[in-house]
Structure formats: structure tokens, C-alpha cells
Chains A and B, each alone.
Chain A
């Protein structure tokens, strides 16, 4: 290793006659640079500096990390301020008797947030979310991507059982209601068309969106609300991180990806549910499936798919929004969860109505 280079940190070891390992280090030590690796054998180490440039906490940290388990460590040849920084860490490991807790609900009485500004805040939040997306597309935003797998798991995979159950029952109910009417017309075979069309275009996406409001929006709202309460979001801001970008974007992406998949799954299960009822008396399995294949078109899948993307986004956004404007109290966190579900479901139904009009208008 070059010893003349002043710009990077270096370290080397040699073993002295009495078995002491002598570590010589130098260069400029910085948190932002890679640090040298060393291997030290024996339980006696002497450290000295040579051409030591500037250093930040990376050097004491390196010394502490490499030598904390060595019994006899001699730092006397190092600059005194460096010695002090290493020794401060060494003697720090003490036990403390638990002391009085600080009250996180110190500001429990603070209800001073005006609800009339809630619309402007909602638009503000939508704007910030959109900006965050744009910034993360261009790689300018700091997003906690390590959150994404967990969110995909909880918002998607973990919802499979409930989506299956509700999807199945929805198909079953529709077939049941449909049959009552169709029997009078002697057209029971069309129950397959009814169920499959309704599931693909409408009910698959709607049921999954509503389930997402119940499970995911509420959970996001309480997660973000309690992070707000314990000032964790302030701690993020103090690091120059934007809480919306850092916390909300991975969550919104996860849900917007998972809901269309769940919705597809719900659709298939729903058609299956319809089959159970239809084939219990009126139709054969073959008849039912033939009708299903005739009824479903790629277009109807597309309609459901587009809707489910929108519903997923709405559910996730509602949770993140209500969470981030929650009152800083235990009660506020609970209210945030409730209002997230209400807001999510309301917006989803409104969006569904708008979609119905639009698709009808464009003969889709």
C-alpha cells in the first residue's frame, strides 16, 4: 500500500520481536471513503500514526471496532484527542437503572388543527405525492426501497385468503340472485354470462379495492400516524428526508402493484363461486364454462384491470394521507385509521361511478 498517498487512509501491521503487533496508520480518514482492512493476531497491540491527515469519526470507530476485543492495546503513540475518542467508547459500556420515561403524549391536549383546511391539505398531499413520484422516477428522491418487499407481502400475499373468501361469496351471491330471475325466463344458462361479466368488469376490482381499504389503508394510516406521534417523521425531516417520499411512495407502489393481481385472483374465484351455485341444479359444468368463455372478452378484463389499478392507488393514498395529517395523540391515530377506510371506500365508489360513465361514453 502506498504510504505517500495523502488522500486515502491506510494501515499496515508488523509483528515485533516480543510478539506485539504494531499497527501503523495514516492518510486521511473519512466517513465517505473506504477504510483499510487489517488482520491482527495476538493479544498485544500497539498503534501508531504516521502522516496522519484529517480524520472524522471513521478513525476512532475503526480503532474501536478492530481492537475492542484485544486485551492489551497501547494507543499512547496516537494524538491525544484520538486516544480520548477511542477510550470514551471503551469505558462507555455501563448498565443503567431504568429511569423515568419521558411522556410522548406531552402534547396530548393539542387539538389546534383546523379541519376546514382539510381539503387544501388533501390537495397539498396529492401534489406532494405526485411530486415525490416524479422525483423518484428521476432518481432525485430518497425512497425507503427496503420497505417495498414487506409491503408487497402484507398488502398482497397476506390478503389472499380474505380476497379468496369474499370473491367466492360474491360470485355465489350473484349466481343465486341471477338464477331467481333467469329461471322465470327459462334462460338459466345465462347465469354464467352474468357472473363472469360482473366479476371481470366490476366486482373483482371493487371487492378487492374495498378489502384494501379495510386492511391496507387503515394499517398505513395508523403506521404513519403513530410515526407522526412519536416524531419519527420529524426525525426523518431532520435528516433532510421527505417523509412522503420516504414512507408513502414504497407503500403506494406496493399496493398499486398488488391490487390488480389480487383483483384478477378474486375474479377467477368469483366465477368459480358462481359455478358452484349454477351447477348445483340448473347447469352442467361444461355448459357453465362454455358460456363463461363466450362471455368474457379481453376488453372486459382490461376494464377491470384499469379500475383495479386506480382503486389500489386510492386505497394506498387515502391511508398515507390520513396517517400523515393525523392528530398527534393516541386518539388521533385511531381516528386516522377510521377516516382512511371511509375516505378510501368513498373515493373508490366515486371513481367506479366515473369509470362507468366514461366506459359507457366511449363504448368500452
Chain B
């Protein structure tokens, strides 16, 4: 059994598409209010892991518990109720292409809050302003850059003040200044609302600044090779490949 504070638990999790596992034996527990960074080479299964952890895909084996619920076993009502307590930024942002950015952020609120229209609009504008999109609210996803889509996706993931947010490469495609602001936003969310955040990132300085823990997925062994605070990755006596990944990124 997980304790109440362990908002995310992965036990012997095995992930993949179809029947072939690309990563297995993934084990860790994350306390509520912590920030976890998932790192690893491109194509190693980070996005797949995020989808399995958030209950979007069923794990091939093992189990993952989110807020004390095993989503693979939960009935539909519990599943949906649990999913509403999480926010997800997809790697491709996955904005609703026929809705403006404001409508994209309003959509979850319209469905799940009983607030009046004006209030929902105000909330959506605020959340878009948090990610620096106050000037682009009435644009369609097709009219903005990839980095802006990412930020709108973050605003939508924050729409319902979720307890846990999954961010798949939130700062990919962003300039250093905006990316720094996203880091700041992530820290503020945690500080102010105690939000737990799981993110995929390739930017070591940003990981060092934000994350409490870091999990490294190693495609050669097909499993995670480290689960530790990001500072530890910089120690020369650390798991060599994970250490190399971190120091390489620092040099370039």
C-alpha cells in the first residue's frame, strides 16, 4: 500500500506500445508537492512513461498508482474523477485546433466548473497570461509557433488547478528567456498550491533549478538506471551513463 503522501507510485512498471516492452522494472515513489524530472536520450520512452503514469495508456506489466488509485483497475467513474485531478501537457501540445487559445483553456472549465461565463473567461485569461500569452488569446493554434502552442498547452493543463501536472517537454522550442519563465512558473505552482509536477526535459540547468528528483531512463539496459536528486547526477562517482548525460548537456 502506498502512504497517503505518495501521490505517484510506480511498481515494477513495464511500458511500451503493442506487446513489446521498451522499458521495464521502473520503480519509484514520489511524495506530493515534489517535482520529478524524467530524462533520457530521445526515443527512450519518456513520453510513453508519462502516458502510462497518468493512466492514459495501460502499463504492459506492473502497476502505477496515482493519488492512491490504480487507474488500470479503477472503474470508469473513479478513473474519470481521478483524471480530472491531473493536468497533462502533450509533447505535441494537442490543442483543440478548432478553438482559440482562450477557448482551449476555457474548455475544461466549461465542462467541470459551475462558474459563470465571465469568471471562466477571466480565469482563462489569467492562466494564459501566466505563460506569457496574454496577447495571443484569440488566435487559433494554427496561427502560432510551436513554442507558443507548448505554453498554451501548459495553460490548459493548469485550467482546473490540478494536484499533479505532467509536462512533456514544456520548454522544447522555447527561447532561454521564456524557458526560464516556465521554470519560475513551475516553482511558483508548487510553492503556492503544492502542485506535484512530473516533467520531461533535456535542459540540465533547468532541471537542476526546478527538480527535486530525477529519473534516468537508459535505452541500453531497457530500464531506469537512477532515481536521485539532480545534484547527485553531477557527482563523478554516479552511475556513469546518467552522469555523462548530465555533464555532456552542461558543456554544450
Interface, chain A (partner B; CB < 8 A): 31-32, 34-35, 56-58, 60-62, 64-65, 68, 81-82, 84-85, 88-90, 92-104, 106, 110, 112, 142, 226-227, 230-232, 234-235, 237-242
Which residues of chain B (64-98) have a CB below 8 Å from chain A? 79-84, 86-88, 90-97
Question: What separation, in Å, do the CA atoms of A70 and B87 have in the docked complex?
Answer: 32
Let me know if B17 and A96 touch, CB within 8 A: no
Give, as a whole number of angstroms, the nearest-CB distance from B18 to chain A: 6
Residues of A within 8 A of B82 (CB): 240
Q: Are A231 and B92 in contact (CB under 8 A)?
A: yes
Pick from B4-12, B22-30, B173-181, B239-247 the stretch touching chain A: B173-181
A65 and B135 contact, CB distance less than 8 A: no
Q: Which of B109-154 contact A (CB under 8 A)?
A: 109, 111-116, 119, 122-123, 125-127, 129-135, 145-150
Per a CB cutoff under 8 Å, which of B79, B94, B181 touches A231?
Answer: B94
* Cross-interface CB contact of B122 among A65, A93, A100, cutoff 8 Å: A65
User: A194–B54 Cα gap in the complex (Å)?
Assistant: 62
Given contacts A34-B119, A92-B132, A102-B172, contact A65 B90 (CB under 8 A): no
In the complex the two chains form, is B161's CB within 8 Å of A238's CB? no
Contact across chains for B90 and A235 when beta carbons are under 8 A apart: yes
A31-B113, A99-B173 known; A93 vs B83 contact (CB < 8 Å): no
- Identify the stretch in B186-194, B210-218, B229-237 within 8 Å (CB) of chain A at 4 or more residues: B186-194
- Cβ of A102 and Cβ of B92 under 8 Å apart? yes
Q: Is the CB of A96 within 8 A of B178?
A: yes
Q: What residue of chain A has the Cβ atom nearest to residue B107's Cβ?
A: A239
Q: Can you list 17 A-B pairs, Cβ within 8 angstroms, ordered by A?
A: A34-B115, A34-B116, A60-B126, A61-B125, A64-B129, A84-B191, A94-B178, A96-B174, A97-B175, A99-B174, A102-B146, A104-B92, A112-B17, A231-B90, A235-B88, A238-B54, A238-B87
Measured between beta carbons, the chain A residues less than 8 angstroms from B130 are: 88-89, 92
Q: A31-B123, A93-B134, A232-B96 in contact; A241/B111 too (CB < 8 A)?
A: yes
How far does the Cβ of A329 sit from chain B's closest Cβ, in whole Å?
Answer: 13
A252 to B130 alpha-carbon distance, docked (Å):
38
Known contacts: A84-B188, A96-B145, A142-B111. The answer to whether A89 contacts B126 by CB under 8 A is yes
Q: Which B residues touch A234, using CB under 8 A?
A: 51, 56, 90, 94
Q: Is the CB of A95 within 8 A of B184?
A: no
Contacts of A81 in B (CB 8 A): 188, 191-192
- Residues in chain A near residue B134, CB distance under 8 A: 89, 92-93
**Complex Cα distance A234/B96, Å?**
11
Listed residue (B83, B92, B111, B122) with the most chain A CB atoms within 10 angstroms of its CB:
B92
User: Please, which residues of chain B bring their CB within 8 A of the CB of A101?
Assistant: 145-146, 173
B residues with a Cβ closer than 8 A to A are: 17-18, 51, 54, 56, 79-84, 86-88, 90-97, 108-109, 111-116, 119, 122-123, 125-127, 129-135, 145-150, 156, 158, 160-161, 172-175, 177-178, 181, 184-185, 188, 191-193
Given A99-B175, A238-B54, A57 and B86 contact (CB-CB distance below 8 Å): no
Chain A nearest Cβ from B122, distance in angstroms: 4
Which residue of the partner chain, among B129, B149, B150, contacts A90 with CB atoms under 8 Å? B129
A56 close to B161 (CB less than 8 A): yes
Question: By the criterion CB–CB under 8 Å, are A239 and B83 in contact?
Answer: yes
B123 close to A61 (CB less than 8 A): yes
Instruction: Report the Cα distance A292→B80, complex, angstroms.
Output: 56
Distance in angstroms from B129 CB to nearest chain A CB is 4
How far is it, in angstroms, between the C-alpha of A106 and the C-alpha of B126 when the chains are bound? 32
A62 near B122: Cβ-Cβ < 8 Å: yes
CA distance A104 to B109 in the complex (A): 26
Q: Is the CB of A240 within 8 A of B192?
A: no
Chain B nearest CB, measured from A35 CB (Å): 6
Q: How far is the CA of A255 from the CA of B33 in the complex (A)?
A: 47
Of the listed residues A56, A82, A226, the one surrounded by the most CB atoms of chain B closer than 10 A to its CB is: A56
Q: Which residues of the partner chain B approach A240 to less than 8 Å between Cβ atoms?
A: 79-84
- A112 near B161 with CB under 8 A, answer no
Verify A93–B135 contact, CB threshold 8 A: yes
Q: How far is the CA of A235 from the CA of B89 in the complex (A)?
A: 8
Contact of B185 among A64, A88, A104 (CB under 8 A): A88
Does the CB pair A32–B146 fall under 8 Å? no
Kindly list chain A residues whose C-beta atoms are within 8 Å of the C-beta of B132. Answer: 92-94, 96
**Within 8 Å CB of B174, what residues of A?**
96, 99
User: In the docked arrangement, what's the CA distance between A240 and B69, Å?
Assistant: 14
Instruction: Say yes or no: A88 contacts B184, CB within 8 Å.
Output: yes
Cα–Cα distance between A65 and B113 once the two chains are bound (Å): 18
